[in-house]
Amino acid sequence: MPSSVPSPAAWSRGLSRPSWLSDPRVLRTEVLAGLVVALALIPEAISFSVIAGVDPAIGLFASFTMAVTTAVVGGRPAMISAATGAVALVIAPVNREHGFGHLIATVILAGVFQIVLGALGVAKLMRFVPRSVMVGFVNALAILVFLAQVPELTGVPWPVYPLLAAGLVLMVLFPKVTKVVPAPLVSIAVLTVVTVAAGIAVPTVGDKGRLPSSLPVPGLPDVPFTLDTLITIAPYALAMALVGLMESLMTARLVDDLTDTRSSKTRESVGQGIANIVTGLLGGMGGCAVIGQTMINVRVSGARTRLSTFLAGAFLLTLCVVFGPVVSRIPMAALVAVMVMVCCATFDWHSIAPKTLRRMPAGEIAVMVITVVCVVATHNLAVGVVVGSLTAMAVFARRVARLAEVTAVTAPDGGTVVYRVSGALFFASSDELVGRFDYAGDPGRVVIDLSAAHVWDASSVAALDAVETKYAQRGKTVEITGLNGPSARIHGTLSGELSAKD
């Protein structure tokens, strides 16, 4: 049986000679994309630091280390990992109740959990996430990103609104002139120059929090290395690991679809764990894939390689430490305009078009809506994906259960009746199966033909046993025929063993 852990050769393939070394156009695209993403990461990292209850530098350091580390060890090229709101919500109680040292220890332990889960093949569970959940995930994400911009547009000076409009117009029209330089970067630069030159008083990046002026220093968390500490942080670390992996793997799958390429989800899982361990050792708050900045990188800026991810982190730290005074003067309206464009580009407008909704099965629409509602209500993408996937499974089970049919044909001599059963027999259809037989009116010999059916679980075997028992109580015999290989094995193993014996 092949191992789920990537071989050294598989890891090295991701580090083979990149395209940007031989194509200057690719290099330019990747460098400029990394710069745009770095600028967009700054205010969000500061906001997530506030949610976690830590200094802004902690979130910025996390975004730097997550991006740089996953650029090397992650499985999805061009995907951006950084500090995120979902992770901040999980670890905030640790910092509030136990202190910053326990928060760092939680981040490191979460990284260990992610490596273990990745090695165990947890990424393979993504195959059970249906398309309707994926569409709901994308649409909910676009809504969340937009809602996150609303506070920046309320209770602000009136010049913010024309600046926002100007930024949107620039990003729509500039690509018609040239695509050499990303439109978001042009928009940010132009609006910054205008506000500074004209002395327009509007909220800036500096108003969000103080930028760090020094590099992060590695070190171990300041906690007692005891079993009590492990017991305290383990539940939070496991929750962080699961939330981070789910968001990262969903984002990786989305980028796969956008770029028509495949990526190693197992390597991504392990890479996220390594990145969180590195982040914790450097005093960061941890993180995972961040969908908004990933869309800026991949869809808006056109990046496709690991270089843009690496440079996003490197530029972020450089901008904060070296060019902090300049970056602090960027108007928030410029960054809000970029994120609004990301929302519009991310949302799957086709999924809500009347033509699509008329053709889509009601169950698929319900799954998409439930996913969106759960994500928006909880502000947690993982919750929406889990609830949406469970709903999709219930819809599927209900639909498949209805496909099970039973038809009866009585022999000409009247001494035998043949019941032909077709469809999937499992827990959702087994109860109904028992009620499809005429126990009192049937002749003495009953044949149940399962050649067009498949027995999937113990519930189906128990239902067939119940049918035989009901006929036996009336002195009638039952013969089950037509079982395929897998069905015969499960029926032979479990038949007669599922009811209590005297």
pLDDT in tens, 87-115: 887 888 899 899 999 999 999 999 999 99
Phi-psi region of 85 (alpha: psi -120 to 50; beta: other; left: phi over 0): alpha
Q: Looking at 92-106, 179-193, 389-403, 460-474, which range is the least confident one?
A: 389-403
**Counts of helices then strands in the chain (DSSP H, E):** 20, 6
DSSP string, 281-328: HTT----EE-HHHHHIIIIIS---SHHHHHHHHHHHHHHHHTSHHHHT
Give the three-state DSSP class for 227. helix
- The pLDDT assigned to 287 comes to 93
Query: Shortest CA distance to 364 belongs to which of 407, 396, 338?
Result: 396
Mean pLDDT, residues 1-12 taken together: 46
Give the three-state DSSP class for 138. helix
Burial pattern 309-341, b for ≥16 Cβ within 10 A else e, equals bbbbbbbbbbbbbeebeebbebbbbbbbbbbbb
d(CA 465, CA 479): 11
> What average pLDDT does the structure give for the chain?
87
Q: What is the pLDDT of residues 135-161, one digit of tens each?
A: 888 888 788 878 888 888 999 999 999
d(CA 69, CA 279): 9
Only one residue has tokens 């990284």, namely 111
Give backbone dihedrals phi and psi of 359, rounded to 5 degrees, phi first: -95, -20
Q: How sure is the predictor about 215, in pLDDT bands with cuts at 50, 70 and 90?
A: confident
* % of residues, the chain, pLDDT over 90: 39
Mean pLDDT, residues 203-231 taken together: 88
Q: Cα torsion for 62, 63, 67, 68, to the nearest 10°?
A: -60
d(CA 46, CA 325): 16
**pLDDT at residue 129 greater than cutoff 90:** no
Mean pLDDT, residues 8-29 taken together: 68
Mean pLDDT, residues 257-283 taken together: 93
Mean pLDDT, residues 403-417 taken together: 82
Number of residues that make up the chain: 502
Give the three-state DSSP class for 369. helix
Phi-psi region of 199 (alpha: psi -120 to 50; beta: other; left: phi over 0): left
Q: How sure is the predictor about 196, in pLDDT bands with cuts at 50, 70 and 90?
A: very high
- The pLDDT assigned to 498 comes to 64
Mean pLDDT, residues 275-294 taken together: 93
Please tell me what DSSP assigns to residue 495.
T
d(CA 144, CA 391): 21
- Stated as kind and residue range, the H or E segment containing 450 is strand 445-455
Q: What is the pLDDT of residues 291-310, one digit of tens each?
A: 888 988 998 888 999 999 99
Instruction: Spell out the SS3 assignment of 97-127.
Output: HHCHHHHHHHHHHHHHHHHHHHHCCHHHHHH
**CA atoms within 13 Å, Cβ hemisphere of 161:** 5
d(CA 208, CA 188): 17
What are the CB-based long-range contacts (under 8 Å, 24+) for 91-99? 91/52, 91/236, 91/240, 91/285, 91/286, 92/51, 92/52, 92/53, 93/236, 94/233, 94/236, 95/52, 95/53, 95/54, 96/53, 98/232, 98/233
Only one residue has tokens 């580090």, namely 15
Query: Shortest CA distance to 350 belongs to which of 341, 358, 342?
Result: 358
